[in-house]
Amino acid sequence: MAKRLLDVVNLNKEFQVKSDKTFFRKPASIRVLSDVSFELYEGETLSIVGESGCGKTTLGRCIVRGMNATSGQVLYHTEDGGRVDFLSLRGKDFKKLRKEIQMIFQDPYSSLSPRMSVYDIISEPLLANFKLSKSEVEEKVTDIAQKTGLNVSYLRRYPHAFSGGQRQRIAIARSLISNPRLIVCDEAVSALDVSIKAQIINLLKDLQQQLQITYIFISHDLSIVQNISDRVAVMHLGKIVELAHVELLFKQPKHPYTEALLSAVPEPDPDLKKDRIILEGEVPNPANPPSGCHFHPRCAYKTDLCVKKEPELMSIGDGHYVACHYANDLKLRGVNHDES
Ligand code: SF4
C-alpha cells in the first residue's frame, strides 16, 4: 500500500447569502461542502466527479487554500514522516509547504498573465520560493519546458502567441517548477479540443510516472476520468456519495446517482445500445436541501426511509464507500452493462 499524502477530515464550506429582505435577519447560509472526508495516497490520481454545483471545485480550492474552508482539516503528510494541518499553517511554515501543493485551472486563457513572458510565468514560483542564481533558474525552466513539450526557443514570447493546448502546457510547467508532490487539476482539459485533451492527459500521466506526482483530478467528463484515475469520488450536493477504485466504480456502481452519471458515458462498442438515465427534477437547492437522503427527490429507488433518514458514507469492502441505505441490495448498471 502506498504512503498516505493527505487526509481530508470533515471539511465544510458555507457561504453567507445576503438578501435585501433580510436586513434585520441573520443572512442565510449555503453549505457547499458538508463533512467531506477522504484519504489520498502518494502517486495516485483521485478524480472528483459530479454535476455543476456539486462542490467539486470548491473542494479543490479549499484543499489548496485558494479559498478558506469554514471548518475541517487537510492533514498533509510531510516527506520527513510528519503530519501537519495544511489549513492552519501560517507564515514561514505555510510558505515552506505551499510550493508542494499546486493547482492547474480550467481556463488556460485567463490563468496566465498576458503581461508576462512565458519564461517569467514559469520562473515566478521559483523566484518566490527558492534562492537560486540566474543560471540555475534558467536551467530549471529549460528542463521543465522540455518535460512539458514546450519549444524552449519560444519562452520569451507572451501567452497570446500560443494555442489553448500550448497554454495549458505552460500552466502545467508553472505548477511543476517548484517540484510539487500534489497537483489539483480543476477541469484542466475541459476547455481544450478533443485531440489536444488527449495530448494533455497523456502528458499528465507521463509526468506522474517520471516525477511521482499525486493528482486530484476534478472533472465532469467521465470518459477522461475512466482513463486517468486510480480512484474516483462522486459528489452530490456537497457530499461524497460514492468512492471506489475506478474499475469497480465504473463496472459495479452502488449509488443510484453514480449509475445515472455513468449512463451518459458512451460505449466503445457502437453495437451496444445504451439507455441513458435522465434524472427527473431540478438539482436540489443547497440553501434548502431535501430531508433524509439529499438525492431522494430524483432517485428511482427511494423508499420512505430515504425521505426520513440521511445515509452515511459507509465501507462495503474493497475500498468501496457508499452513502445509500440500499447499497448492498440494488442491482445497478455500470459501464459495459455489467451488473452487480
Ligand atoms: Fe436513493 Fe434511497 Fe439510496 Fe438515497 S438512500 S440514493 S434515495 S435508494
Question: Can you give the pLDDT at residue 109?
Answer: 76
Amino acid at 290: P
Q: Which residue has the cell 510558505?
A: 95
What would the 3-class secondary structure string for the chain be? Answer: CCCEEEEEEEEEEEEEECCHHHCCCCCEEEEEEEEEEEEEECCCEEEEECCCCCCHHHHHHHHHCCCCCCEEEEEEECCCCCEEEHHHCCHHHHHHHHCCEEEECCCCCCCCCCCCCHHHHHHHHHHHHCCCCHHHHHHHHHHHHHHCCCCHHHCCCCHHHCCHHHHHHHHHHHHHCCCCCEEEEECCCCCCCHHHHHHHHHHHHHHHHHHCCEEEEECCCHHHHHHHCCEEEEEECCEEEEEEEHHHHHHCCCCHHHHHHHCCCCCCCCCCCCCCCCCCCCCCCCCCCCCCCCCHHHCCCCCHHHHHCCCCCEECCCCCEECCCCCCCCCCECHHHCEC
pLDDT in tens, 181-225: 999 999 988 878 888 889 899 999 999 999 999 999 999 999 999
- C-alpha span between 125 and 123 (Å, rounded): 6
Query: What is the whole-number distance in angstroms between the Cα of residue 33 and the centre of ligand 1?
Result: 19
Distance 137 CA to ligand 1 centre (A): 54
Length reported for the chain:
340
Q: What integer pLDDT is reported at residue 265 of this predicted model? A: 82
- Note the pLDDT of residue 339: 44
Which ligand 1 atom is nearest residue 303's CA?
2
Pocket of ligand 1 (CB under 6 A): 255-256, 293, 295-296, 299, 301-302, 306, 311, 324-326
pTM: 0.92
DSSP bridge partners of 48? 218, 233
> What pLDDT was estimated at residue 89?
96
What pLDDT score was predicted for residue 210?
92
Question: How many Å lie between the centroid of ligand 1 and the Cα of residue 297?
Answer: 9
According to the model, what pLDDT value does residue 340 have? 40
- Taking the C-alpha atoms of residue 13 and residue 237, their distance in angstroms, rounded to an integer, is 12
The rounded Å distance from CA 306 to ligand 1 centre is 6
Q: Where are the domains of the chain?
A: 247-340
339, 328 in Cβ contact below 8 A?
no
pLDDT, block means (10 residues), the chain with 340 residues: 92 83 69 96 97 93 96 96 96 91 86 92 91 94 94 94 92 93 92 86 93 95 94 97 97 96 79 73 83 95 96 96 97 71
Residue to mutate (ligand 1; options 326, 331, 332; most atoms within 8 A of CB): 326
Phi, psi of 205 (to 5 degrees): -65, -40
pLDDT confidence of residue 269:
67
Q: What pLDDT was estimated at residue 110? A: 81
In angstroms, rounded to a whole number, what is the distance separating the alpha carbons of residues 6 and 72? 13
